[in-house]
Amino acid sequence: MFRQRVLFLKENYILRILKRFILAGLFAIALLLILVHKIDLGLISGVSKSVMFVTVPVINTLTMPARGLSYGYKQALSVINVYQENKRLIKENDELYLLKDRMKALKAENDLLKKLLHHYDTPEVQSRTARVVAETGGAFANALIIYLGDNSDEIKIGYPVVCSKGLIGRIDLISGKYARVTLLTDINSKIPVVSQKSRERGIISGVNAPEMKLLYTPLLAELQVGDILVTSGVGGGLPPDIPAARIKQIDMDSITVVPLFNPSETEIVKILLYDVAPTPETMKELQ
């Protein structure tokens, strides 16, 4: 009986006009937010940080029991499979011993050649570990939310994030002890890469799908299906030679590549402390 009456609420005329103005204002604010997205305004990142500060700790706390259960399940499974796993590891170990000797010889040769050519290695990049708290994917965006813990002071926006298989994305927002990572597959992501084999260059572009596009490759590029693409280091945003994707399909007008990681299976990630911007001293020297 009362339900029907709600639909016939009598509103003040002025209030109705005011409501329309507010609604139009909210539309304008939303459009303005989209337009100024590229300009890093403190207000916008402040709003984003506040929202993350409120919601993500709740998600993290709620996932704790699930993580405990998952850990228990994995431990139980490893106990059941311990004999088979041991057998496999012994075999793998024998193969690795052979490889180790070969690697030692190659490394010595490499060091000698570098010395002869006066080649200097780029300094090793430091890293910090973080845990994946939540994942957002689908048709509109691809991102991960990670827990930085006490490392949060050292992490900056733009730092590359890798997993055991290779590059997964870059830090795009930090709020307290949490950060958001834009994945390679996100429409916003553009990564300069080079083919590991032929050293042909290109740019990996995400399309919010499990597959990505390889753009700006030369017309007669020597690329093959299965080739691994690694970061080129061009632009200084990412360190070179991090595996990023594998070529899946080559057509006349497009090259389709797939990422080396599966976001749903990624639990622990490594953040490389690789500074994008050169220091003022370096800039002076360059000038």
Query: Which residues sit at the interface with another protein, rule CB under 8 A?
Result: 2-3, 5-9, 19, 22-23, 26-27, 29-35, 37, 44, 47-48, 51-52, 55, 58-59, 62-63, 66, 132, 134-143, 145, 172-173, 180, 182, 186-188, 205, 207-210, 262-265
Question: CB-wise, 35 or 117, nearer to another protein?
Answer: 35
Dihedral through CA 75, CA 79, CA 82, CA 84, nearest 10?
-90
Question: CB-wise, 27 or 216, nearer to another protein?
Answer: 27
What distance in Å separates the CA atoms of residue 61 and residue 233, rounded to the nearest whole number?
37
Question: CB-wise, 125 or 213, nearer to another protein?
Answer: 213
Phi, psi of 77 (to 5 degrees): -65, -40
Question: CB-wise, 233 or 248, nearer to another protein?
Answer: 248
Q: Which helix (H) or strand (E) holds 246?
A: strand 243-250
Give the tokens for residue 209.
């799908």
Give min distance, CB of 234 to another protein, in A.
21
Give min distance, CB of 141 to another protein, in A.
4
Give min distance, CB of 74 to another protein, in A.
12
Give min distance, CB of 145 to another protein, in A.
8
Give min distance, CB of 51 to another protein, in A.
4
In terms of Cβ atoms closer than 10 Å to its own Cβ (0-12, 13-18, 19+), residue 257 is buried
Question: CB-wise, 143 or 244, nearer to another protein?
Answer: 143
What distance in Å separates the CA atoms of residue 255 and residue 227, rounded to the nearest whole number?
12
Give min distance, CB of 269 to another protein, in A.
13
Return the SS3 of 215. Answer: strand
Which residue type is seen at 62? L
Long-range CB contacts (within 8 A, 24+) of 150-154: 150/177, 151/271, 152/176, 152/177, 152/178, 152/179, 154/128, 154/273
Question: CB-wise, 43 or 219, nearer to another protein?
Answer: 43
Question: CB-wise, 182 or 231, nearer to another protein?
Answer: 182
Report the largest interatomic distance among the alpha carbons of the chain, rounded to a whole angstrom: 92
Question: CB-wise, 57 or 239, nearer to another protein?
Answer: 57
Give min distance, CB of 44 to another protein, in A.
6
Give min distance, CB of 67 to another protein, in A.
10
How many Cα neighbours within 13 Å face the side chain of 30?
6
